């Protein structure tokens, strides 16, 4: 399961960041730099209008808006 599939209000734990190509390697590094690391607890706070667009996510004590493509890269397990 990935962050894009999780409904708002659900908490999960990062299991890994998927790597699907060279361009995505840069994004993977950026996600890890801001705290999306294996074992870190995350929560989807809000999704864009009609479930499309940016996804507001809390990781640790920080809040970030991720693109849908970035959220799909973060594989999680629900708590």
pLDDT of residue 11 exceeding 90, the answer is yes
Angstrom CA distances, 5 to 12, 21, 25, 49, 52, stand at 11, 21, 21, 15, 12
pLDDT of residue 18 exceeding 90, the answer is no
Burial 8-22 (b: 16+ CB within 10 A, else e): eeeebebeebeeeee
Per the prediction, the chain carries an average pLDDT of: 90
Identify the CATH number of the domain in which residue 54 sits: 2.30.30.90
For the segment 8-14, the average pLDDT, to the nearest whole number, is: 95
Burial group, residue 55, by CB count within 10 angstroms (0-12, 13-18, 19+): buried
d(CA 17, CA 8): 20
pLDDT, residue 60, reads: 87
pTM of this structure = 0.87
- Each residue of 19-36: pLDDT tens digit? 766 667 788 989 999 999
- What domain range is 13 assigned to? 3-78
d(CA 32, CA 10): 21
How many folded domains does the chain comprise?
1
pLDDT, residue 22, reads: 62
pLDDT, residue 48, reads: 83
């Amino acid at each position: 399961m990935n962050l894009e599939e999780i409904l708002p209000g659900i908490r999960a734990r990062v299991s890994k960041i998927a790597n699907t190509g060279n361009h995505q390697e840069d994004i993977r590094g950026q996600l890890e730099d801001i705290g999306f690391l294996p074992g870190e607890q995350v929560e989807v706070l809000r999704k864009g209008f009609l479930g499309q667009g940016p996804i507001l996510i809390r990781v640790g004590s920080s809040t970030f808006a991720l693109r849908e493509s970035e959220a799909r890269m973060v594989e999680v397990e629900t708590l």
